Amino acid sequence: MSLNRRVNVGDVPIALPADAGYQLSVRRISTSRLISSEIRYGAGLPNRIPTSSKHNDDAYSVGLTFQEQKSTIIVDGAASQVARHTNQIQILYIPAVKSVQFHTPRHDMEIRLRQSFIREISEDLEVPKVTHVGRSNRHLAEDPALMALALRMYPFFDSPDELDPLQADHFMWALGVSVCARYGDLAAYRPRVGALSTWQERLAKDAIETCLNGGIGLAELAGLCGLRTSQFAHAFKRSTGIAPYRWLQHRRISRAMDLLRAGGRPLADVALMCGFADQSHLTRAFVRDIGATPGAWRAAALQ
């Protein structure tokens, strides 16, 4: 098979078959610490190739697979045939990748995890430096919990300007801690018997913050932390003093207060932006936790 199209996606050279009749479409999100690409290769797609894609980063690529695909990848000078299955994740150490050759249609979401950010995670948690992520420079795994978390960001490829930097950072902290703990050597210190470890507590809180609008299930949080659901619920309450659902509600109320304090938005919009079902749901939660309706609280806050 002849090859006559070569492009760079991130720092990775991509080789495309000349006779497949397929197009490459790449969309990007770049907000605060989050750098992510949606990569599609197939028939009937718009030919959308980034004009400038070099980052020269010392970074890992965390890839999420949305359809069965085959490729040849050259890592550390050795070529290997790779078959990725739907819902698999692939971790690549980008500087070790020389090229990737596509053989079949594909649909992926790639998230860049920089070494500088990995060091930031270790320093923030006050644990030893993470020395590796993945068992090698190319690591495949089944991780439904991580897939579910990453899919929270997928809709923003359609509207990247709507992604708030704070939400992007919370997502990256949740993803970074999860990847470094499950596939690297991030230390799991336990500050209290029966409580979450330092990284588990940070991961759980950031995952909740990422998902304020849509919510996140208890089993998903437990899976991210590598615990059974009941074990996680007990450990979270031991660490924070309240159940995960109550933490979520408190964070939604706190976000609503920030939006109300800024003024200008209708209460119905504030409710939806914070994950409440409607304005009535927001009002009931506000009265229960704050002792006043959202309208009355805003009026007092803006005086």
CATH number at residue 39: 2.60.120.10
pLDDT band at 179 (very low <50, low <70, confident <90, very high): very high
d(CA 140, CA 82): 10
- 18/66 same-domain check: yes
- 280/221 same-domain check: no
Is pLDDT at 259 greater than 90 in this prediction? yes
- 151/288 same-domain check: no
- 150/254 same-domain check: no
d(CA 260, CA 271): 10
d(CA 177, CA 173): 6
Q: What is the pLDDT of residue 127?
A: 86
What is the extent of the structural domain holding 195?
A: 3-241
Is pLDDT at 13 greater than 90 in this prediction? no
Q: What is the pLDDT of residue 69?
A: 95
Q: What is the pLDDT of residue 1?
A: 41
- 201/288 same-domain check: no
- 164/265 same-domain check: no
Is pLDDT at 51 greater than 60 in this prediction? no
d(CA 170, CA 168): 6
Residue type, 202: R
- 251/208 same-domain check: no
- 153/169 same-domain check: yes
d(CA 81, CA 70): 7
Average pLDDT rounded to a whole number, residues 75-93: 92
- 194/262 same-domain check: no
More confident residue, 160 or 105: 105
Phi/psi region, residue 224 (left: phi>0; alpha: psi -120 to 50; beta: rest), is: alpha
- 179/111 same-domain check: yes
pLDDT band at 2 (very low <50, low <70, confident <90, very high): very low
pLDDT band at 56 (very low <50, low <70, confident <90, very high): low
Instruction: Check: CB of residue 295 under 8 Å from CB of residue 257.
Output: no
- 144/166 same-domain check: yes
Total tally of structural domains belonging to the chain: 2
